[in-house]
Chains A and B, each alone.
Chain A
Amino acid sequence: MSPLDWLVGPGVVLLAAGTIGPLIGLNSGRTLALQALGIGLLGLGGALVLFGAAPIGAGFHDNVSPAFGIDGLSGFFLATLAIVALPALLYAHDYLSGADRAPALLALSGLFLLSLAGFVTARDPSTLLAWWELMTLAPAAAILVRSSGPAARHTVFVYLAVTHLGGAGVWISLLALAHYGALSDPGSLVAQGAAVQALVVIAAIVGFGTKAGLMPLHSWLPRAHPVAPSHISALMSGVMIKVALYGLIRVLFEWAAPAPLWSGLVVLALGLLSALGGVLYALVQHDLKRLLAFCSIENVGIVALGLGASILFTSEGDSTWAAIAFAAALLHVLNHAVFKALLFLAAGSFERAIGSLELDRIGGLLRRMPWTGGAFLVGSMAIAGVPPLNGFASEWLTLQALIHAALDLSPGPAGVGAVASAALVATAALAAFCFVKVAGLVLLGTPRRPEVERAVDSPAAMRFAVAMLAACCVALGAAPGLLIPSLTGLAPQPRELPVEPGLAIPATGSLPSPWLLFGLLALSALLWRLRGSRRAAPVPAWACGQPVSPELRWSSAGFTKPLRLVLEAVLRPQREIAVESEHGLVRSVHYQSEIPHLFDTAIYGPARRGALAGAAIARRLQSGSVRAYAGYLLGLVLILLLLVRTGAIG
């Protein structure tokens, strides 16, 4: 056994013990410690493999015998899982204390972690599919344990229905791959011809894309993420949808490689739709957690842009940029995991402190919850993609990949790259808009209801968890270059890049992120000194002489109104104004506005109605009469005989 096995083996045992712990009466502190230690060891093992240790365990094979192993890509996802899971478990310690059915939730958290780790380390089709299903079911159970009202049940039903319908694609692609022996011997699929490869690729994009939340397959995501307990939401948004991308990466870049050009264009198109669509719908949400869920769709879209660009480069033979685009996608996976977990955990803290997370009725939490609020601000800046935080680093790299597609490739892909790069910049600007709104409404201004007035910061463990993630945002923003060479090494055709904190990529002006961070901090501090704060006169806000009164406070809808008007043709807002007047005097005005989710009204609604109508027709066949069934049997036998007679079968 290699020394790494001694790290990973106990990790699995501890995590499993942490999962069954609560069921045999272990208290929550010990359970969480076991789980954290277990996932920490696994993550450490993964990170060591990523940074150059030899892969451990089995390689992929096509038989039905369970096998596990960790190679570089699995190691990266394990490490990402651990980086999110450790703060999430720490957070859960205080978050779940006093909660109903805490032991069940703890066991489910452990099971969820185990299934996530299981899927990225499984090495044969049966184990992969088993963990895949478990990974879907564990959060569904956690949602139901926490709240079992009709709304939650409906949400879980939609979640399971959509992910299972889409998940059929995962089964088809994995079983087809195993059938042709492509898991153990990549390349044997290509030998089967373009049609088989196309089947596998499309099935994988649909199957894994549904779970990753790529538009238009995302319908479940904005429903399920907000209702789960916050630490589970953090894992779902931070890691689970990325694990689905892990599956997609394995298929597109390993088992079905080299992926054809059209698949790159499809992935790019889905990425564009998800990035722009996700952030646009995030912008018009009024509930914080739902908004964050839409933002996950956006970020999955950005990752897909990197993956699509990598396929374009590969098919045009530019392996350097193929590796860089691939690394950009992986870096964004990690970065998004960190800041999205941070935002979901902080949202959970806010919810615990003040109740409802309706954006228009929060305000002023930075003063009342300085730790959580401060971390939330850092996370907002990171997800908005402004320098010097981590969101900017990976978006910069993805953007560079798209721009170099425009600069270097043949006309078709180059045009696609240019359009995609402009769209990515617009996405980043929209995300900045969105998170200016969110941070402003949640953290700044005056409290908008009494509960907010009385809010106090969360218990120490919850505060520390979000602070840890905020520190990760800064660190990953300052030194993304320490990670990038390992990530380009995971690409199908690895490329050597120098290990240095900044990103020194050929044919770019380079992103020396540590200096950028230092420069911004130093200059801001210098200007702060020059500005001098002792003479500041406390005054009420001026607002051109208008008093800033609570009735005139700006709402989420008001802030985004210009954009809503500009994009009216896309968003199709609906609004109703009812004025009640009596003898010419206006008594009351009711205003209601809603942005319908077009995918629900235009795609899923008709599809659901069609399916129900089809089911109603099919139901007529089931008359319940024995004679009718005997008739069906007779008909079937006759048809079979006829087919045999004509030689079609047999």
Chain B
Amino acid sequence: MSDIQYLAPTTLEEAIGAFAAAGNVGRILAGGTDLLVQMRSGMVKPGLIVDIKKIAEMTDIVETADGGFTVGAAVSGALLTEHPHFGKVWPGVLEAVNLIGSKQVQGRASAGGNLCNASPAGDSVPAMIAAGAVVTVQGPGGRRELKVEDVPAGPGRTTLKPGEILVSFKLPPRPAGSSDAYLRMIPRTEMDIAVVGCGVSLTLKNGVCTAARVGLGAVAPTALLVEDAAKALIGSKLDEAALEAAAKACRAACRPIDDKRGTIVYRTKIAGVLLKRTAAIAAKRAQGN
């Protein structure tokens, strides 16, 4: 007989009650593509697994009247891809989510899980940061909202309080002339972990960048919002000088590690390269909007 308990509640209140009561042996199951691997390796030994996929709010994609989106934390990459509008409004967020694993993994893995797993290299996180996404979390103390960049606290750690569950992502409405993009550098052609990831979201008006946000992944203990890079882009026509200034801000923000997939020097250099390439893709898409 097992000493693990499995629950699949249909309401958030029930899930939070059980999750909070379990304390630090509770684990949330969304797609399970991290959790089951961690259990298998013995890295985590949950006393309680709370499967959140029977809670409607966790698996819904809602397009709000003002053109924003609310994406449930457990929405799989495959489900997000199949949404008729999401990828048109947020192509960068979608391409980042789609870079997580194979088709099989896409059938299960979610942006919520990617954020809560808190790997510095999670692909969807820099794109969500660039998008200005805000998450709703709910715990025994009620609901609150926080910016995506404020969720990761370090590798494998988040700022969520005990008993709190990530419920959904809110993506803001898009002004005309807006788009986004995500690029990552990997040593292989597909299916690998980012050595550097870069998300850029921007708005163009008559060729001038009027708003921008830049997210960087895999170059620090958590994914970063690089405000100085955005500042360098805003007000410019995305000319070489502005792009170089933004790339420099990205390089300055890097606090990477040396490992088998990339050195500090390499990751720092690539952060600037990716900023330029990602901004160019986002700008090209924005011109069509």
A and B part of one assembly:
no
Which residues does B use to contact A, with CB under 8 Å? none
Which residues does A use to contact B, with CB under 8 Å? none
